[in-house]
Amino acid sequence: MFGFGMESVYVGRSMRDFSAVREALSSRGIDYKYKVNNRQAAWLFPAGGTVRSQTGSLGMDSDSAHEYEVLVKRDRAVEARYHIMNALRNA
């Protein structure tokens, strides 16, 4: 059960920010889970292929191809957001 009792505290496309978020949470003992969604691998329609196979990747920013989401237990969400905000401000 991935999201049961969990709350999303960060969604972004920067791997640098994602790493800073994970470091901020782990250094304070806040357990987290994360999802990585490849936006170019999304299926357009049945048997239609992926976005990348239909349009190619020329001119696409490879840094924005992935979307990162971090989830924590609901009772630690406010604390996690506070530490995330500070980590991203200092990054």
**Per-residue pLDDT reduced to its tens digit, 29-70:** 999 999 998 876 655 556 555 454 545 555 555 566 789 999
CB 43 within 8 A of CB 91: no
Task: Kindly give the residue spans of alpha helices, DSSP state H, lying in 1-91.
Answer: 15-27, 51-55, 77-90
Average pLDDT over residues 13-20: 95
Which residues are CB-contacts of 64 (< 8 A; sequence separation ≥ 6)?
A: 13, 39
50 vs 76, more confident: 76
Task: Kindly give the residue spans of alpha helices, DSSP state H, lying in 46-76.
Answer: 51-55
pTM for the full predicted model = 0.74
| pLDDT attached to residue 18 | 96
Query: What is the residue type of 9?
Result: V
